[in-house]
Amino acid sequence: MLILFLIVFIDLLGFGIIIPLLPFYGEHFQADPFTVSLIMAIYSLGQFVAAPFWGRLSDTIGRRPVLVISLFGAVLSYIWLGFATTLWMLFAARLVGGLMAGNISTAFAYIADITTVENRAKGMGLVGAAFGLGFIAGPAIGGILAGPDPLTADFQTPALVAAAMSFVAFVLTVALLKESLSDEARAKAALKPRTNRLVQLQTALKRPGIGLLIAISFLATFVFAGMETTFAMWSRRQLGWGPEQNGYLFAFIGVIAAILQGGAVGRLTKRFGEGNLIVQGALALAVGMMMIPFCTSVGPLMAAMVIVAYGFSVINPALNSLISLRSDSAEQGMMMGVARSATTLARVVGPAWAGVLFAQLGKEWPYYAGMVLMVLVAYLGLKSLKDNQQAKAAALENAKLQSANGARLDDEDKSAPID
């Protein structure tokens, strides 16, 4: 697990370097707020197209080969990004990066392979901590390399450093990572008929409780992605910030996420359960999103971001854990791929939706609308908890009836005359 943690961390370090720079990179090519949101969304569109393919492929050939291929593809996409000279090249480089982003869902499937039911949430949280740590150093490095002034920012150097980070993760995967999926599981998956995206989605939605979890994942990511996409443009207009200041803020969010997902999620799950964490996370995101538009200085903004970071940091591992626990061992990759497709679709439409609100209604509206949607997510989370409780009660009652019927039949057999 430690090797996978290092691989994900180093790869996400490169990813984190790029994230706070992209809005400024787009505006460097004279893109308007809506077009900037599409630059953010195109990466996720590539993920949406490729995620089920990578998940299914990892079920049949193993997790390690998929990680190797996708990490090398990420290296090439960052190099292209660094040498982009037009807006279309920026879009194309991000699309290729998204198509090669199979390492994320595959990493979660790897964790599902090597953890037990009892420590599944802790394992998911550990991978989430690698994400968080990647966002601690990554945005700060990217911001420093780009500089504080968006008019004179250096966008090439951060992209090439991100390529170097992904190449290091690629080398570590080739040299040190062992395959997690057994030959038996791969053989079982290979015998399953190939299904298209729609059939995979229908299969996932038919699993008890999984459909609602996927809907919650979609909405939570939809809101968070809209905030990520518009925040740099909002901070530039509200606070006069450039890439460097945004890099430091994203690094701060990474610190909070790493602390929560690395150590706190496992304990919180044992205390509250995954379902309660989903409700908590949704309400925290609603509060944080409502606070952001009213922040006119660093202090209140930091407080709002702590609340946002808590919400998203607890809701994601809880959702991934529940989805994996309700999936068959031979379908972990496929189910994670479908779930990842839902969240990456949210990262396609969420930024575009936030970009429209930002451009047409004003810079505050993505956050007001996000607050409303997270209240809806909290309601769905409560509904999921109630459904689970009713299902457990029904199962317990059924077990009691079966036990009582079995005891009655035993008594009848004992009292029956012997011929």
Note the pLDDT tens digit of each residue in 260-284: 776 677 778 778 777 788 899 999 9
Q: Which of residues 104 and 94 earns the better pLDDT score?
A: 94
CATH number at residue 103: 1.20.1250.20
Is residue 191 situated within a structural domain?
no
Contact (CB, 8 A) for 340 and 104: yes
Domain range spanning residue 26?
2-180+196-412
Is residue 54 situated within a structural domain?
yes
Among the listed ranges 49-53, 225-229, 312-316, which one has the minimum average pLDDT value?
49-53
pLDDT above 60: residue 342:
yes
pLDDT at residue number 243: 86
Is residue 26 situated within a structural domain?
yes
The answer to whether the Cα torsion of 74, 245, 282, 38 is positive or negative is negative
Is residue 220 situated within a structural domain?
yes
pLDDT at residue number 338: 78
For 372, the token pair is 């409303």
pLDDT above 60: residue 2:
yes
* Mean pLDDT of all residues belonging to the chain: 82
3-state SS, residue 258: helix
Is residue 324 situated within a structural domain?
yes
pLDDT above 80: residue 193:
no
- Structurally, how many domains does the chain consist of? 1
Q: Which of residues 365 and 107 earns the better pLDDT score?
A: 365
pLDDT at residue number 161: 92
Contact (CB, 8 A) for 229 and 23: yes
Is residue 418 situated within a structural domain?
no
Helix spans in 260-364 (H): 265-272, 274-291, 298-325, 332-360
**Spatial CA neighbour of 276 closest among 221, 318, 307:** 318
Q: Which of residues 70 and 206 earns the better pLDDT score?
A: 70
Over the stretch 127-166, which tens digit does the pLDDT of each residue have? 767 776 777 788 888 888 888 887 788 889 999 999 998 8
Is residue 189 situated within a structural domain?
no
Is residue 185 situated within a structural domain?
no
Name the strand (E) or helix (H) holding 207.
none
